[in-house]
Structure 1
């Protein structure tokens, strides 16, 4: 249960950080910069959820791996949807 919550919060925080970036390619325009505060809150709650599910080092590594995968896949998803750099 905690691992699922940690995964969902990590994914939503990573997605919010990406969508608030001015160089994102998923939407026509970036979300406002204040979204980064909410994304940071999601990631802070995700760390707490991961710490409930796993030992400390394993929790940090699992969350880091998930963030790397999401932040690697999102730019390619933007290219796949047809929004290339102008």
Structure 2
């Protein structure tokens, strides 16, 4: 797989992690991250992810891949947080 595609996917996943970590209902950490810095980091990582994906594919394809990655990561993170929280409270 091309390097820029991997970098784009990693940046998109990290952007979702920043967005989830700033939520007051997150369960991965004991306290949520500060909202403004996490949202700024999320926006910067999303832009970086799209720019990295555009290096290896067409703009529309890059947008589709980015959206699909966001949907996957934002669907998995709450379950990962619930699993982590359940293991921590045992």
Structure 1 and Structure 2 fold alike (TM over 0.5): yes
Identify the residue that residue 56 of structure 1 maps to in structure 2: 59
1:5-84 matched pairs, under 5 angstroms: 5-34=7-36, 35-81=38-84, 82=86
Residues matched between the structures, number? 83
CA deviations 1:23-42 (Å, max 9, x no partner) are: 11111110001211011101
Task: Tell me how far apart the structure 2 counterparts of residues 14 and 77 of structure 1 sit (CA, whole Å).
Answer: 13
Task: Tell me how far apart the structure 2 counterparts of residues 44 and 65 of structure 1 sit (CA, whole Å).
Answer: 15
Consecutive unaligned residues in structure 1, runs of 5 or more: none
Consecutive unaligned residues in structure 2, runs of 5 or more: none
Cα RMSD for the two superposed structures:
1.1
Q: TM-score of the superposition, structure 1-length normalised?
A: 0.91
Identify the residue that residue 2 of structure 1 maps to in structure 2: 4
Structure richer in helix, relative to its length: 2
Task: Tell me how far apart the structure 2 counterparts of residues 37 and 71 of structure 1 sit (CA, whole Å).
Answer: 17
The alpha carbon displacement at 1:74 in A equals: 0.5
